Structure 1
Amino acid sequence: MAASLPSSRSKVVTTLLVAPAGLFFLFLLILPLIVVIIYSFGARAEAGGYAPAFTFDNYANLPARGQAFINTLTLAPLGTLLTVLFAYPLAYFLAVKANERLRTLLLVLVIVPFWTSQLLRYYAWIMILGSKGIPSWLAWIGMTDVRIINTPWAVLIGAVYGFLPLMVLPIYVSLEKLDKRLLEASADLGADAPRTFWQVTLPLSLPGVATGSMLVFILLMGEYILPQLLGGGKVFFIGNALVDLFLQSRNWPFGAAVSTALVAIMFVTIAVYMRFVLSRGDTRRAALV
């Protein structure tokens, strides 16, 4: 009887600690999502907005926004992959090679862009990628008629620049926690540096890569400002389609259907990705043992 009292008290304390986060999750994520799903089966009112109904027409019309889905599902994963390729060497250098003073300086430089508005940073890239920026510099060496702004390449450059810190920091934390004795043991067993990296360092840093990839991918899937500014409205993302449907066309049910489809795609993609990464990480760890 005496032993059950501490257990009951522990459950009450745990419930009280978890309750604020649970309520936050319920009211700011679950309930709004339920409302969006309900709206997705409605009809557009005569003056725009929502009219109660139960129809699947909005989901049947999703191909009308097919280009937005194609652009998003192509550029968001590609932007995430490019961000990983740029972030990993930097995170590796910070965690393994840099001394304490240089590491601190570089970490500050990685974080500094977040001190300014994302909007201002993208406007700066408009100047850099515009006709008076990089294309004019390339013209000096004979590469004329180069156009970067208002293209998918500009969107990818902005994605890598804008979300690089979100990729670097999780990978850095994962590598910084790496037991250096494993690297020494690998070298003692005759493995060269590349083999040590592929068989020891990379597998053990996959949780950081997975975390950073999820952060970047989720944000890119719902991005609006990036394709609007650097894509010039010509590279249309789902975020741009939602702005058009909710604010201009005022077709809320169709916008809700597009939103629901986006959430479903993101959920499935992230679930498959995490399953692949975690299972691969477990396999590599078993191989190490």
Structure 2
Amino acid sequence: MDHWRKSVGAFWAAFLPPTFWLVAFFLAPLSLIWLFSFGVKSGITDIDIVWTFQQYARALEPLYLGIFGKSIWMATITTAICLIVAFPVAIGIVFAPPKARMWLLLLVILPFWTNLLIRTYALIAVLRTRGHVNFTLEWIWDKADWALVLVGLGDLHLLGQKFEPLQMLYNNTAVIIGLVYVALPFMVLPLYAALDRLDRSYIEASLDLGAGHIRTFWSIVTPLALPGIASGIVITFIPTLGSYLTPDLLGGTDSQMIANVIERQFKSANDWPFGAALSFLLMYATFFGLALRAVLVRRESMGGRP
């Protein structure tokens, strides 16, 4: 602190550029959109700020509440799948040899080196009707059908007359697969950070005292990994809830999430006040979730005392 007091010029030189950037390119645009949420559309491009809650009331109509609910449900399912898949992956990385651990972490962060749009189109190539998944299933079907013919059961057509490709694109399942594919590294990394700090003597003591591996996992590993689990849930759920590109490319007409509705209001519908209200309702819900987590963490750190 004394060093900064003696070097006032250096302090302001380090403080002003990022502050200006934050205010000019984040807070100012965000404040403008917030003002739009209290306005009404008065022309093709004109907006009158009349300080009305009309847009928020419209956003609370059953149609949009249903889309909000569906977005929360899909984000919840995605987060749960990511947690189930990421936990054993993080444990495997933590207990891997040091040389292998570096390469495993590299594989986890490797998707960040590729643009999300390219990764999504690659997933389309995997899931489409004539994609890699259906090609593999068709190959298995051909081999199984050949085996049935070989044993004299080919005329029964137990597998059907011909292979029918699975419709894996443009539905809710495709959207969830895409969201898990995108969000999984965000769950693995905080879990790895929490498990890497784990005192392994607790695990050894639990096993020496007769507890099995499953009980040790639930009674020792999971409670000690709770900070990483909470962080992973937050940084996975929030981006997933506001995801736009994945449901737009992989989903069908009934797979749209709230971010897609917001995008249409700002672009095709040209209704910026309503799009702003939807955006800030989504932001308010996010802030509420973060505040609730902070309260729970504080109560846990205080030993559950009110």
With the shorter chain as reference, the TM-score category is 0.7 to 0.9
Give TM-score, length-normalised by structure 1. 0.84
Relative distance call for 1:59 and 1:194 in structure 2 (3 A) is: same
**Largest Rg, 1 or 2:** 2
Counterpart pick for 1:114 among 112, 115, 133: 112
Tell me, in whole angstroms, the C-alpha distance in 2 between the residues paired with 1:241 and 1:30.
23
Letter in 2 for 1:209: I
Relative distance call for 1:7 and 1:48 in structure 2 (3 A) is: closer
RMSD of the alignment, in Å?
Answer: 3.0
Tell me, in whole angstroms, the C-alpha distance in 2 between the residues paired with 1:145 and 1:57.
48
1:235 aligns to 2:242 (yes or no): no
CA contact (8 A) 1:91 1:172 kept: yes
The Cα offsets for residues 20-52 of structure 1, whole Å up to 9 and x where unpaired, read as: 666655555444333222111100121135222
Partner residue in 1 for 2:70: 71
1:43 aligns to 2:40 (yes or no): yes
Provide the secondary structure at the position in 2 that maps to 1:146: coil
User: Across the two proteins, how many residue pairs are aligned to each other?
Assistant: 279
Relative distance call for 1:197 and 1:20 in structure 2 (3 A) is: farther
Relative distance call for 1:8 and 1:104 in structure 2 (3 A) is: closer
Partner residue in 1 for 2:94: 95
CA contact (8 A) 1:49 1:253 kept: no
CA contact (8 A) 1:40 1:256 kept: yes
Partner residue in 2 for 1:32: 29
CA contact (8 A) 1:174 1:208 kept: yes
CA contact (8 A) 1:155 1:227 kept: yes
Tell me, in whole angstroms, the C-alpha distance in 2 between the residues paired with 1:128 and 1:70.
29
Provide the secondary structure at the position in 2 that maps to 1:244: helix
Letter in 1 for 2:112: F
Letter in 1 for 2:99: R
Unaligned runs of 5+ in 1: 285-289
Letter in 2 for 1:123: Y
More moved, 127-136 vs 116-125:
127-136
More moved, 29-38 vs 104-113:
29-38
Shift of 1:73: 1.2
Relative distance call for 1:55 and 1:283 in structure 2 (3 A) is: same
Tell me, in whole angstroms, the C-alpha distance in 1 between the residues paired with 2:90 and 2:129.
33
Unaligned runs of 5+ in 2: 145-158
Give TM-score, length-normalised by structure 2. 0.79
Counterpart pick for 1:170 among 190, 196, 206: 190
Tell me, in whole angstroms, the C-alpha distance in 2 between the residues paired with 1:144 and 1:7.
72
CA contact (8 A) 1:166 1:216 kept: yes
Relative distance call for 1:204 and 1:279 in structure 2 (3 A) is: farther
Letter in 2 for 1:108: L
Matches within 5 A, 1:77-226: 77-96=76-95, 98-133=96-131, 134-135=133-134, 137-138=136-137, 140=141, 142=159, 144=164, 146-226=166-246
Shift of 1:68: 2.7
Give the percent of matched residue pairs that are identical in Structure 1 and Structure 2: 34
Letter in 2 for 1:243: E
